Structure 1
Amino acid sequence: MSVSLTALVMAADSLLSPQSFNDYCPNGLQVAGGSEVRRIVSGVTASQALIEAAIEAEADAIIVHHGYFWRGEDPCVVGMKRRRLALLLKHDISLIAYHLPLDAHPELGNNIQLAKKLGITVQGGLEPNNPRSVGNVGILSAPQAAQHFADHVAKVLGRRPLLELGHNRPIARIGWCTGGAQSYIDKAAALGLDAYLSGEVSEPTILAARELGITYIGAGHHATERYGVQALAAALATQFDLHHQFIDIDNPA
């Protein structure tokens, strides 16, 4: 089966409502390839390695979380950017990318999908008064020692997270936001949560954990954002009876 590129993008836009977000990049179709799509490859970031793997898989479209054309970047099509775009255009492959809309989606989003993987019951948003809150708050199935939960995260994600203890009590209520959302630890602490988990960590994150009395878990930007794009691409593939393959280009960051 196949679907028109226009219909595929319209369906994705309908699911994620990108117009509702003030994002750092354009969401939706970023590079137009052929007019018909039969095979989709999904991945976290539209790196050259992912594009090359998609070419090998004979994909018509690539769906990613991290695409191109970020706010403030050099707009010139040179070097790395030129090589990536040249590959897409040469092989008539479309690039479709969703950033914050994919993080926040209540069913397909990175945060919800990570919660399912880790066994966290979602209770609401990290910003209670914001209907488009990107981060979430939830509870574990039972209170547990921070190291025990960190071991669980390591087993599920396949990498050892950074653990900074902000206190000695068990973790019951936790906040999280995938990717580079370490600054949201302040929001989690203000809600009186036991722990906060994000992808990246920075120097102020550790100090905030210590001084605000909240345990921090840094589980990896790439590792925490592998699941939303898979869920989105799988949903679209099911809707239009397309072939879908997730390709994980590992990144330790």
Structure 2
Amino acid sequence: MKEKTPKERLDTLLVKKGFFESREKAKSAIIAGLVKVDGKVADKPDIKFSPFVSIEIQQSLPYVSKGGFKLKKALNEFKINVTGFIAIDVGASTGGFTDCLLQEGVKKIYAVDVGKGVLHEKLRKDTRVVVMEGINARYLKEGDIPDKVDIITIDISFISILKIFPVIKSFLKEEGMVISLIKPQFEASPKDVNKGGIVKNIDVHLKVIENIKNNLKDLGFYLKNITYFYSKEGKGNIEYPTLFVLQEKDELSMDKIKEIVREAFTNWKLLSKK
């Protein structure tokens, strides 16, 4: 009796078949809903399939990770041109934000991450990238980054962004800006986070954003604009790419923020019901 061919994880299968050069990139495509197996969208990297299934990639990913899409959406909606900028990417990880910034024209970027060996090889080889791995951004000191920068991007997990802003201010030009992801699941009180790490209560989202807005205002940062991002299937948390500047006159009102968050929830709920 012939032995059955063992099944393999989808992300591993995609790499073995040559669709992607790394499992991380394969995972990003899967989670983004870009991979079909036998004609159906497969959105979980760890599901196992026979190596003989039919696989279709709906489109190639322009960035090394899905983080690039989040930043690109913010740059487009906030009408920001980063050509010629010097940047810091806090929480660079695989490099989605870094990749996006490079493609948008930054001339130099400091990619900071507490992990080691995570940044994509393509970005490591780019002469515009200064790799600062194994470094916790909370403990950056004056002199660690010799440049005053035009833009700082932040994509961190498991700690509040409020722990990062006091440190990064000294590296930012007076006319500089910060685009940070606000992730309610890491900012809210544990009692407000549902099983699986999902924050489903709109009031919690608004409370989180208002708390961050008020605390950062005390530090001299003003929330100028905010948008939202979630997976195509409406699963997972809503996250908020948010623009902060050092000019108070540009501050966005809480009423406008509420309007944007309500829109995010309406669209998210419609998707999650499909």
The higher radius of gyration belongs to: 2
Q: State the TM-score, normalizing by the size of structure 2.
A: 0.33
Q: State the TM-score, normalizing by the size of structure 1.
A: 0.35
